[in-house]
A and B are shown apart, each in its own frame.
Chain A
Amino acid sequence: AQKVTQAQTEISVVEKEDVTLDCVYETRDTTYYLFWYKQPPSGELVFLIRRNSFDEQNEISGRYSWNFQKSTSSFNFTITASQVVDSAVYFCALRLNAGKSTFGDGTTLTVKP
């Protein structure tokens, strides 16, 4: 069975601080896909990134960066110089070729001015 653990339930930072959201996953499959989604108070789940299991290259997109490490089954997400608009719930998800996604319980990030 597959599982996604986001151990941090809530994180609070002050604007301009860097913050890392942790995601640890479990699967026996060798081919899988990892996702991060952002859910602001409005409710919509916004797709941020997809990473394939066979591509361990880290990625940076503006203030966002992702660190994928197969050795520790982790796919962590870092926001640099956080802003109030980054306040949201962030979900990490795992998807196998069989199609169904498994979501973590989410991390609520609050960025204070």
Chain B
Amino acid sequence: DTEVTQTPKHLVMGMTNKKSLKCEQHMGHRAMYWYKQKAKKPPELMFVYSYEKLSINESVPSRFSPECPNSSLLNLHLHALQPEDSALYLCASSQGARLAGGTDTQYFGPGTRLTVL
């Protein structure tokens, strides 16, 4: 089973709203990732968690707040977003036995399409 699930599938929110994106995997992976993807562009890495600890933050604005409550779950809390934050948000996971290992194949979820009004 190489399934990563994400909820919700679509989200529309105003600039003053607070919302959360959720990601779940049951493959026993210990590394989880958030990517942002704008239309017709490749995914851009936002955050990496390794063994439930934040290991990489790619200078993401503080209005995005990640959380890893346990090894299977990854959340992305959103607050005071801007219209330019509208994008597809992808979650991925990998074995993460050694985060620096390039052999880690990342498996992606279907994404959440976020629209900020």
Contact = CB atoms under 8 A, between A and B. Distances in A.
Contacts of A33: 102-103
A100 B43 CA distance: 12
Contact of B102 (A43, A47, A95, A103): A95
B102 A105 contact: no
A78 to B, nearest CB: 21
Nearest to B9: A43
Contacts of B92: 45
A44 B110 contact: yes
A32 interface: yes
B25 to A, nearest CB: 13
Given A44-B110, A47-B107, A105 B41 contact: yes
Interface string B70-112: 0000000000000000001010100000011111111111110
A32 B88 contact: no
B45 interface: yes
B42 interface: yes
Contact of A45 (B40, B45, B99, B108): B108
Given A97-B100, A97-B101, A43 B42 contact: no
A45 B100 contact: no
A44 B9 CA distance: 11
A101 B103 contact: no
A44 B42 contact: no
A46 B43 CA distance: 13
A113 interface: no
Nearest to A40: B110
Contacts of A105: 41-42
Interface of B: 2, 40-43, 45, 48, 56, 88, 90, 92, 99-111, 113
